[in-house]
Chains A and B, each alone.
Chain A
Amino acid sequence: MSPSLARKIGSSLFILVVWQALVQTGNLNELFLPAPLSVLKAMWALTLSGRLPWAVLVSLNRVVQGFVYGALAGIVLGLLAGAIGWVEDVLDPWIASLYPIPKSALFPLFLLWFGLGDPSKIITIAVGVLFLVLVNTMTGVKSINPLLVKAALDLGASRLQVFVKVILPGALPNIFTGLRLGAGMALILVFITEIEATKAGLGFLLWESFQLLETKDVFAGVVTFGLLGVATTWVLQWIERRTCPWARR
């Protein structure tokens, strides 16, 4: 084991052990801060009862749908706006005015327009993802060396070929930055949209447990959100390594 890895594991174990000890010696009230082992037990129980897997499934469905729709729209609009002047002019006022708005603030409107079901939640997530992906994709397109476009044209590429073979791959590293940020945003938004007016999902489970003062279950939800965050990062990194083998990290 490398010294660096040993330090990392050591520091994690140290915190967990001290935390566990503080609870067991009665210095910490489990109502506020349940011990690590209690949280693990709660997660196990929630898994066996099927509540946690179901909640994860329901939330993932919303996250994945919202993420995919938002990401696709963001990439397409971002590429067009980055590459074509008039598209940027048309989109610019909308981006400038909507980008700074926390997308969670739009959720009540989407509830009003699209009802209490999944669509309003998926749309909120999609909109949150869209802007992050769009803005980063645009930055990616604009960061492409104009000489590469010249070289492609000189070698006989058509406008469409320049778009597919130069603009798209050139913007890809920035697109992935947008996707990573978007994935984080999707998890934030799924939680917020599941607090109210829903009967299923990880956010619902967490919030309901809080209202019942089942702090262990709240922690179980928090840890599961964390695991989902790590998992999405891994998946995106894997795809990025596959699609951008030239990019050094």
Chain B
Amino acid sequence: MSVLLELRDLGKVWSIARTGESVVALEAITLDVMPGEFLVLLGPSGCGKSTLLQIVAGLEKPTRGEIRFPDRNGSQKLTSMVFQEYALFPWRTVTENVVFGPEVRKVPAAERETTARRLIDLVKLRGFETRYPHELSGGMRQRVALARALANDPAILLFDEPLAALDAQTRRVLQDELARIWAETGKTFVYVTHSLQEAVLLGTRIVLMTARPGRIKRVIEVRLPRPRSLTRRAEAEMLETLDDLLRDEVKHAMEAET
């Protein structure tokens, strides 16, 4: 299978204007993203995983290194982002939010309608098409954000801690929904989280990152059958391994701060 996205020796340095300091957010990130995989970027907060996602999305520029989409054909944007705080347009209804991408790309109205209906069905929001975001629960808002990201038919969906703002039950339901939608659409998911459980439940591959500077510590293949459950032995063992690795990192990060 050919590589969908290549990251080569990516680095990002933030300069803080107020103090004149510079902070290394990312260092030596080299990674291949394969088509159709569910890649989880896992790491403690401050490890630069969100920054990495923004760079892949083209919303930030790397200080060094390269991003390549080897099989890129045409000029269509290859990624779409789902943000932690939903980032829905409050003045647009569910349908109007979903069609934002096709609308700015001047897709004909009839086609937009069809896309919207299909995606609203996919994320199970039928009957809520004319609601405004503030009339929806957090979980429903995130479903809208997912449908909106899918509307541009990107090759890669980028998730920036999409479930972090939700309560535990809703999060659990949406984790299953994400696994279902990933399987149904066959899209490539790149998913940032600091939740070990989420990584084990969802990922086909987990990229464990270190903090300050953000580097790749280890890449772990997850060959567990789906649907997964944290109460099963294999999942529990994987969780424990990750927990040990991550705890080291958090400790290092805290020591670096003091």
Contact = CB atoms under 8 A, between A and B. Distances in A.
Interface of A: 145, 147-148, 150-158, 161, 165-166, 169-170, 172, 244-248
B105 to A, nearest CB: 5
Interface stretch (B85-93, B177-185, B199-207, B211-219): B85-93
B16 interface: no
A23 to B, nearest CB: 52
Contacts, number: 60
Given A156-B77, A246-B132, A150 B59 contact: yes
A162 to B, nearest CB: 9
A161 B91 contact: no
A153 B100 contact: no
B134 A151 contact: no
Interface of B: 57-59, 77, 79-81, 83, 85, 87, 89-92, 100-101, 103-105, 132, 134, 148-149, 152
20 contacts: A145-B85, A148-B87, A151-B89, A152-B100, A155-B101, A155-B104, A155-B148, A156-B77, A156-B105, A157-B104, A165-B89, A165-B104, A166-B89, A169-B89, A169-B91, A170-B91, A245-B132, A246-B90, A246-B91, A246-B132
A148 B59 CA distance: 13
A147 B83 contact: yes
Contacts of A147: 83, 85, 87
Nearest to B131: A246
Which 10 A-B residue pairings sit nearest by Cβ, starting from the closest? A155-B101, A151-B87, A169-B91, A157-B104, A147-B87, A246-B132, A154-B81, A246-B91, A161-B104, A156-B105
B104 A152 contact: yes
A154 B59 contact: yes
A148 B83 CA distance: 10
B104 A150 contact: no
Contacts of A165: 89, 100, 103-104
Main secondary structure of the interface of B (DSSP, over half): loop
A151 B104 contact: no
B91 A155 contact: no
A64 to B, nearest CB: 27
B173 to A, nearest CB: 24
A154 B55 CA distance: 11
A244 B89 CA distance: 13
A58 B81 CA distance: 56
A32 B100 CA distance: 63
A155 B100 contact: yes
A152 B152 CA distance: 12
Given A155-B101, A158-B104, A248-B134, A150 B87 contact: yes
A172 B91 contact: yes
Nearest to B85: A147
A148 B105 contact: no
A247 B100 CA distance: 20
A154 B59 CA distance: 7
A107 to B, nearest CB: 38
B136 to A, nearest CB: 12
A212 B100 CA distance: 64
Contacts of A172: 91
B40 to A, nearest CB: 20
Contacts of B148: 155
A154 B100 CA distance: 11
Contact of A155 (B80, B90, B134): B80
Contacts of B132: 245-246
B90 to A, nearest CB: 6
Given A155-B80, A170-B90, 16 more contacts: A151-B87, A152-B104, A154-B58, A154-B80, A155-B100, A155-B152, A156-B77, A156-B105, A157-B100, A157-B104, A161-B104, A165-B89, A166-B89, A169-B91, A246-B132, A246-B134
A150 to B, nearest CB: 6
A42 B132 CA distance: 50
A100 B56 CA distance: 47
A145 B104 contact: no
Given A148-B89, A151-B87, A244-B91, A156 B134 contact: no
A165 B101 CA distance: 11
Nearest to A145: B87
A141 to B, nearest CB: 14
A157 B59 CA distance: 12
Contacts of A151: 81, 83, 87, 89
Contacts of A244: 91
A166 B105 CA distance: 15
